[in-house]
Amino acid sequence: MGFKKYLAKRAITMFGVLMATLLITIALVGSNMDAILKQSVSLEIRQQITNNKSLISSFKTPEQLDLYVHDQINQRMLALGLDQPWYTPQRLGLAMYKIMTLDFGHAKFLTSDTGSSDVKDIILEKLPRTILLFTTATAIVSLFGILLGAIAANKVNSKIDKITSSFAIVSSSFPVWWVGLIMIFLFAFVYPIFPARATPDVSVTDPGYLLSLLYHMALPLITLVLIGFGSWAYLVRNFLVGVLQEDFIMAKRTIGIDKKKILYGHALKNAAPPIVTVLALSLSGSLGGAIITEAVFDWPGMGRLYYEAISVLDLPVIIGATYVLTAFFLVSIFLADVLYAYFDPRVRRQ
């Protein structure tokens, strides 16, 4: 199987996953969504009619008015297709098409910082902040992790190896959000260095906003790095130890190539495919975990948006955010697959 065919196959699977997730989300919130839409339609029509004084005065009895209102509501529902339940193919197809073209409609309660209630605007405002926080954290974590992992793999069973391994195991069993709470306790209460709430207190339009955002990012960033780099180092160490046992490394050693060169040049290169895969996967994983992490620190990104949307049941935002989160998740998994196949040709030839 060629590389292109492999890519195509993965891409199709990913698209399937995206559609399946979307379908599940719509199926789970669909009936609620319907009720809310119907409510808002009848409310809107009643308001229109009550505002139109001359129209009201043209009715003689209240029954006539009621009948007219009812008629109008039914007409509007028919026009919107609300007379059919949400699971009919046309409505489902329409909903999916709208979402795929990023037309998420308007939020019910939530607004963006600039006051727009368009779900697209809200998401476009929050997304960069989440990406900023989590890619920065992942970059720092992987850099530390690879360095420390290489050092540990170089001296298996040495003190530094043992410390790395035990730190990895211990740090990965604490939930990130709990460590977040402890960090807030330590650095916002005991030693008030950083703010407890990560939402900047200046308005978005202020020129100092970016600086304030970066300052507020410090605590979540430190937490993410602290909890992440141990297990990273451990992973890299394990991959490297595996590679260092292979025959070609032995051969290189017997020729007399410098030990450091073997480790950082040859062994690390060969351990790259799994490392890159895990890098992409951990990025996607942290995006999912962002919901809790951002809720703890009040970081104004996608995760907190999702959390807020869930707590007030703002369905358009939930659907939009799920779609975008899933899309990002899938893109990073896809990237991992592609990179792995690129580095390790055995995968494509399976």
Contacting range for another protein; rule: CB under 8 A; set: 45-53, 210-218, 268-276, 316-324: 316-324
Decide: is 173 part of the binding site for another protein (CB under 8 A). yes
Decide: is 101 part of the binding site for another protein (CB under 8 A). no
d(CA 286, CA 267): 28
In sequence order, the β-bridge partners of residue 106 are 118
Question: What distance lies between CA 111 and its chain's CA centroid?
Answer: 19
Closest CB 172 distance from another protein, rounded Å: 8
> Between residue 18 and residue 37, which ones bind another protein under the rule CB under 8 A?
20-21, 24-25, 28-29, 32
Cβ contact 225:144 at 8 Å: yes
Contacting range for another protein; rule: CB under 8 A; set: 88-96, 123-131, 223-231, 328-336: 328-336
| Token reading at 169 | 């195991």
d(CA 285, CA 304): 16
Considering only residues 11, 37, 131, 196, which one is a binding residue for another protein as defined by CB under 8 A?
196
Give the SS3 label for residue 304. Answer: helix
* Of 49 and 292, CB closest to another protein: 292
User: Which residue from 177, 139, 171, 125 is spatially nearest to 290, judged by alpha carbons?
Assistant: 177
User: Which residue from 40, 48, 26 is spatially nearest to 106, judged by alpha carbons?
Assistant: 40
Decide: is 250 part of the binding site for another protein (CB under 8 A). no
Helices within 101-208 (DSSP H only): 119-154, 159-173, 176-184
Give the SS3 label for residue 81. Answer: coil
* Of 97 and 178, CB closest to another protein: 178
> Between residue 214 and residue 243, which ones bind another protein under the rule CB under 8 A?
238, 241-242
Binding residues for another protein, total number by CB under 8 A: 53
| Token reading at 350 | 């399976």
* Of 137 and 305, CB closest to another protein: 305
* Of 229 and 329, CB closest to another protein: 329
| Token reading at 147 | 């360095």
Cβ contact 55:71 at 8 Å: no
Decide: is 132 part of the binding site for another protein (CB under 8 A). no
| Token reading at 210 | 């970016």
In sequence order, the β-bridge partners of residue 124 are none
Closest CB 219 distance from another protein, rounded Å: 11
Residues found near another protein in the complex (CB under 8 A): 13-14, 16-17, 20-21, 24-25, 28-29, 32, 156, 169-170, 173-175, 177-179, 181-182, 184-185, 188-190, 196, 238, 241-242, 245, 284, 287-289, 291-292, 295-296, 306-307, 310-311, 313, 318, 321-322, 325-326, 329-330, 333
